[in-house]
Amino acid sequence: MTKITFGGHPFLLGFEQLERLVERTAKTGSEGYPPFNIEATSENTYRITLAVAGFRQEDLQITVEDRQLVVRGRQSEEACERVFLHRGIASRAFQRSFVLADGVEVAGADVEHGLLHIDLHRIVPDAVVQTIRIGRK
C-alpha cells in the first residue's frame, strides 16, 4: 500500500510548498515567551500583539524572511550594575516566528504600553475568469 503525502496528492497541483510550510511551522517551537495574541481586525486585516514589557523600540527587530514574519528582541546591557533582590520580570532575548500566507503583508508596527502591535493585511486580487481556447497542435 502506497502512502500519498499531502503535497503529493494528484488533485492538489502546485501545493508542494504546503507540506514544507507545515513542517516549517512545526519547527518554530512551542516556547511561550513572549506571550502573544492574534486577532482578525476585519475581513482582510489581522493584528499580532506581543507582550514585550521592558523592551524599548530599539531593542526590537521585525523582518520578513521567505514568507516568515520574524520578531526578535534583545535588551541592551545597562551601563550601571543593578542589584536585584528579586527578578521576576523576564528580560531574556527572544525570537518569535509566524508564517505568512501568500498575499499577506506587514502594514506596520508600533509599541504601546509594553505591547508590540504588528498589523497585517491581505491583498485580495480581483476575480479573474480565464477562458482557455482549445486548439490543435
Clarify whether residues 20 and 61 are in a common domain. Answer: no
**CATH code of residue 76:** 2.60.40.790
Which residues form the domain of 9?
1-30
Looking at residue 91, what is its pLDDT? Answer: 75
Looking at residue 67, what is its pLDDT? Answer: 87
Looking at residue 132, what is its pLDDT? Answer: 82
Clarify whether residues 83 and 109 are in a common domain. Answer: yes
Clarify whether residues 78 and 124 are in a common domain. Answer: yes
Domain count of the fold of the chain: 2
Task: Write phi, then psi, for 14 (nearest 5 degrees).
Answer: 85, 10
What DSSP assignment string belongs to 28-90? T-----S-EEEEEEETTEEEEEEE-TT--GGGEEEEEETTEEEEEE-PPPPSS----S---S-
CB 41 within 8 A of CB 114: no
Clarify whether residues 9 and 45 are in a common domain. Answer: no
Q: What is the pTM of this model?
A: 0.73
Looking at residue 102, what is its pLDDT? Answer: 87
Clarify whether residues 104 and 79 are in a common domain. Answer: yes
Peptide bond connecting 34 to the previous residue in cis, omega within 30 degrees of 0: yes
| Parts of the chain with a pLDDT under 70 | 1-10, 12-18, 20-22, 24-31, 78-80, 90, 137
Clarify whether residues 6 and 55 are in a common domain. Answer: no
Looking at residue 95, what is its pLDDT? Answer: 94
Clarify whether residues 53 and 108 are in a common domain. Answer: yes
Clarify whether residues 90 and 136 are in a common domain. Answer: yes
Looking at residue 124, what is its pLDDT? Answer: 84
Looking at residue 5, what is its pLDDT? Answer: 65
Clarify whether residues 8 and 60 are in a common domain. Answer: no
Looking at residue 125, what is its pLDDT? Answer: 82
Looking at residue 27, what is its pLDDT? Answer: 62
Clarify whether residues 26 and 37 are in a common domain. Answer: no
